[in-house]
Amino acid sequence: MLSVERMTTAGPSPRGGLAGRLMPPQTLWDNVLATLDDVARRLQLDPDVLAVLREPERELVVNIPVTMSDGRVEVFRGFRVQHSSARGPCKGGIRYHPDVDLDEVRALAALMTWKCAVVGIPYGGAKGGVSCDPAHLTEHEIRSLTRRFVGMIMPVIGPNRDIPAPDVNTNPQVMAWMADEAAAMPGRSSIGIVTGKPVSLGGSLGRREATGLGVAIATRELLHRRGQPLEDTTVAIQGYGNVGMAAATFLHQMGCPIVAVSDISGALYAAGGLDIPTINRHVQAHPRFLLEGYDQPGLERLSNDDLLTCQTDVLIPAALERQIRADNALAIRARVVVEAANGPTTPEADAILNERGVVVVPDILANAGGVVVSYFEWVQNLHGLFWNEAEVNRNLEHIMTSGFDRVWRFSGENAVTLRTGANMLAVKRVADAVRDRGMVR
């Protein structure tokens, strides 16, 4: 998430230090705007360009009627926000979650703009979502909801305009329903209208693991630059969904001991390292794909909150936003945080971590692997030429390592944190596109 690095006139906290002098905005969108303003000041950005970047290009709110299994009709609220198309078609996932609202979606759309820009792929940022709880919906209800939602946002999406993808609580099956619904509409048969599809419907090999692989690559690159051998570096991962599992698997293969993982059923900790292949088999066999019921010698059971503060060298938050906050940042024992989730660290917590010397690899860089391979899928769809998984991973590796290197060098040259460096690079690229397109005089 974008961080805020500006001082306020608030009095000192009982803890003292920078944390007590920073007042975080109340919403994720406020956080994004506050940090955009801070980055604009650092870049001495043209006020007219800043005015463009502070407002999404388009916001669509829809009310989706769905006939439920018991015969009643329930109306769900859905959103699609396009923040910027200055650098190319908009790109961003669709999430199904009870907490989805317009402020969250517009903030995540802006973060997608910066994420695509920082790794240099020709997309702008978008995001979508439906306020619902999939855990309380049948498969038939989710399918009906998805098809109606697609029909209602169809006027603003398309392979050359805005390409949705999976996000929280959506998956390749949901993307397949979306693509099929779009194909049933006149002139909308392109398989490139969404990414993250099943391979049988034009999806890309390697897409499912891409975000987690990108997180693992970013972690490896940072450790190499810090001179830390992977085999001597312990890792804890909060969130063991698709991204967390993939990150754990790849880091385990690279030699890192994974000492803690968690999901909604709780956290597992083993100081000597967890048996990741066995855990993966357990999760895949569990009826709800959970860690629940797993056991191994030397295992301790923790809460999700305890995982964040457990003894580890690297902490990877891979769940939802706002997990590392002012009330727990001082207790974080990891010296490195790699943000696999979007916006897992609040601005006040980010300031505390920075003051304590904790290095944070920001989300717009660390978790960009998913959108990079979504870009590969889109390119493959447009050209009708598909790559093997080794080629996908090789190209992902190139983009992630190049992006990390640019952010690392820029941050060092300008004596700023990796988050600030990534934000500055991203905003400058989008600002240049806004000017070059003649959107401001």
Helix axes 347-355, 28-43, angle to 10 degrees: 60
Q: Give the C-alpha separation, 242 to 253, whole Å.
A: 17
Q: Which helix (H) or strand (E) holds 361?
A: strand 359-361
Phi, psi of 10 (to 5 degrees): -60, 150
Pairing of strands 73-84, 162-166: unpaired
Tell me the two tokens of residue 254.
């690279």
Q: Which helix (H) or strand (E) holds 337?
A: strand 336-338
List, in sequence order, every residue forming a beta bridge with 61; answer none if it has no partner. 79
3-class state of residue 64 by DSSP: strand
Q: How many residues belong to the chain?
A: 441
Q: Give the C-alpha separation, 418 to 74, whole Å.
A: 45
Cβ partners under 8 Å of residue 2, min gap 6:
31, 32, 35, 36, 39, 111, 114, 362, 364, 419, 423
Active site residues: 127
CA distances from 2 to 52, 322, 404, 416 (A): 18, 12, 16, 13
Nearest Cα neighbor of 98 from 414, 343, 320 is 320
User: Side chain identity at 197, as an amino acid letter?
Assistant: K
